[in-house]
A and B are shown apart, each in its own frame.
Chain A
Amino acid sequence: MELKIDALTHSYDDLAVLDDINLDIRAGEILCLVGPSGCGKSTLLRLIGGLERPTTGRVIQIGEPPEDSLNPLTFIFQDFALLPWRTVHGNVSLPLESHLHDVPRREAVIADVLERTRLSEFRDAYPRQISGGMKQRVAIARALAVRPAILLMDEPLSALDAQTRELLMEDLVDLWQRERFTAVYVTHNLEEAVRLGHRIAVLSRRPGRIRKILDVPDDLENRDILKPGLASIRADLWQQLHDEAREADRQLTR
């Protein structure tokens, strides 16, 4: 399953947020969306995931999701969005409860996904008892449990400290190696984009337009941010963003 964003424009009342977005989301690749804060990249993600309705234009699904996919478009949120009154197990179980009514099968899926994210021993912990990195891992486990066709990741590492972010980036690379998932990855962090993106779309300040789409040629597993190739892509990205970010900083919010 792939997605095509076709001439999408969005505004809140009379505030234009996104302007004429055209974008393809290809199977098996991670597409990063970067842009200055307030450029509408998170809004774009919500529009892609059907949580908001675009003012004009469409998000088109090409092909059918795999048979076993319980929730084809699955979000991972910046602030994890875990239910504080449910344990790790309960949080992963939540979306399965409405799709998988057969309890032994459900438990098997949960056990498997906790194993894959190395969370099995924390199964009975409440969110308040675990670290931020662990919380995001639970959210990733919850997302994997419903077998998404496309992951929609909204600044998934932005609420974490630098070291945890580094660890989780490694985890995501590993995960992609194993599962070859498709993802739209929104971030304001250029390093994340360069490390995790197969393609990087740069958005302008509000109203967000696509300024440029960069290809990152290297394989995910041997990306070294310090190597000249990636460093120059990062420099190029910053070149694109610098003035936009400066201007965006001076914009009033609504």
Chain B
Amino acid sequence: MDAPTDHDRPLREVAFRGGGFRHQPIRALSIGTFLALLFIWETGSRTGFISNLVLPAPSEVGTAFYDLWKSGNLWDHLSASLARLGAGWVLGTILGIATGFAIGLFSVMRASLAPLVAAIFPIPKIALLPLFIIWFGIGEGSKVGLILFGTFFPTVIATYGGIDNVDRTLIRMGQSFGLNRWEIARKILFPGALPAILSGMRITAAIGIILIVAAELIAAEKGIGAFIQMAGSLFATDQLVAGVLVLSVLGLAVNALIGLAEKHLLRWRA
């Protein structure tokens, strides 16, 4: 029998059915969505469709922000918030990493502290603010303490989770070359846990911002939270939204900083 040829059988290209399920960055659309929303909001306010009492126009928010900037109040409030945030977050992070390491390294620490951490972690820390005021006074102490407390527990959990996930063969390798416990902790466990610690920092930075504002809403004269609280009680919604905007930018900035740190410290990752 002759071998079949192309002539007597139909030819068809195999249809493509792969592709999809992979995200492409569409930058213009990200910016476009944002601008479109602003535009709708502004037109809504100008035409009276959105009442000024309900929501101020973006332009009014812009003006309020400009005034805040111009008067120097922005820096006053922001620096007060940042100082509390910085002190509380740095202390909470350092203590959290240290405790996380203790839990990651020593069975005694794990057995005694890990359940405690798990029990305290889910408590909404803001509920403890009155206690903190009694313990540390109405001033800076209670606010720094609150942030310290709020960032400490997630850091502990991220750190010892990171340590637990370090490849065991790397530890065995360290032991096989005669590295002592401290060297293994410093040269193998810490860098191995660093990705987890840094993603923990992303979370604790957000927690810190939420907590500082909450604390300032309740008891402070200066600070972004206090500014928002003041604006709210005067029904100055434009200032209120401007204050919220500052928080959002603050969150973005902190996130970007941690992103930079990751890029530098974790450059060994693909």
Q: Which of B176, B191, B192: most chain A Cβ within 10 A?
A: B176
Closest to B268 in A: A85
**Cα-based distance from A152 to B177 in the complex (angstroms):** 12
Indicate with 1 or 0, residue by residue over B162-184, a CB within 8 angstroms of chain A CB atoms. Answer: 00000101101111111110010
B169 to A77, Cβ gap below 8 A? Answer: yes
A67 to chain B, nearest CB (A): 16
A51 to B170, Cβ gap below 8 A? Answer: no
Chain B residues, Cβ within 8 Å of A122:
none
Contact A126 to B178, CB < 8 A, known contacts A79-B169, A83-B170, A83-B188: no
Q: Which of the residues B173, B174, B268 comes within 8 Å of A126, measured between beta carbons?
A: B268
A71 to B268, Cβ gap below 8 A? Answer: no
Contact A81 to B180, CB < 8 A, known contacts A51-B175, A94-B187: no
Q: Which of the residues A73, A77, A146 comes within 8 Å of B173, measured between beta carbons?
A: A77
A165 to chain B, nearest CB (A): 20
A75 to B173, Cβ gap below 8 A? Answer: yes
Indicate with 1 or 0, residue by residue over A35-70, a CB within 8 angstroms of chain B CB atoms. Answer: 000000000000001010000000000000000001
Interface size class of A (residues with CB under 8 A): 20 to 34
A253 at the binding interface (Cβ < 8 Å): no
A95 to B178, Cβ gap below 8 A? Answer: yes
B270 at the binding interface (Cβ < 8 Å): yes
**Cα-based distance from A81 to B168 in the complex (angstroms):** 9
A144 to chain B, nearest CB (A): 12
Chain B residues, Cβ within 8 Å of A97:
183, 187
A124 to chain B, nearest CB (A): 12
A182 at the binding interface (Cβ < 8 Å): no
Closest to B172 in A: A51
Closest to B180 in A: A98
B50 to chain A, nearest CB (A): 52
A229 at the binding interface (Cβ < 8 Å): no
A128 to B175, Cβ gap below 8 A? Answer: no
Contact A84 to B268, CB < 8 A, known contacts A77-B173, A94-B187: yes
**Cα-based distance from A49 to B177 in the complex (angstroms):** 10
Chain B residues, Cβ within 8 Å of A128:
268-270
Chain B residues, Cβ within 8 Å of A152:
176
A75 to B269, Cβ gap below 8 A? Answer: no
B169 to A81, Cβ gap below 8 A? Answer: yes
Chain B residues, Cβ within 8 Å of A118:
none
Contact A81 to B170, CB < 8 A, known contacts A128-B268, A128-B270: yes
Closest to B195 in A: A85
B187 to chain A, nearest CB (A): 7
Indicate with 1 or 0, residue by residue over A109-150, a CB within 8 angstroms of chain B CB atoms. Answer: 000000000000000001110000000000000100010000
**Cα-based distance from A159 to B167 in the complex (angstroms):** 16
Residues of B within 8 A of A (CB): 167, 169-170, 172-180, 183, 187-188, 191-192, 194, 266, 268-270
12 contacts between A and B (CB under 8 A): A49-B176, A51-B176, A71-B176, A74-B177, A81-B167, A83-B187, A85-B192, A86-B268, A94-B177, A128-B268, A128-B269, A146-B177
- Nearest first, the 9 closest Cβ-Cβ pairs linking A and B are A95-B177, A81-B173, A75-B176, A85-B268, A85-B191, A126-B268, A81-B169, A128-B270, A71-B178
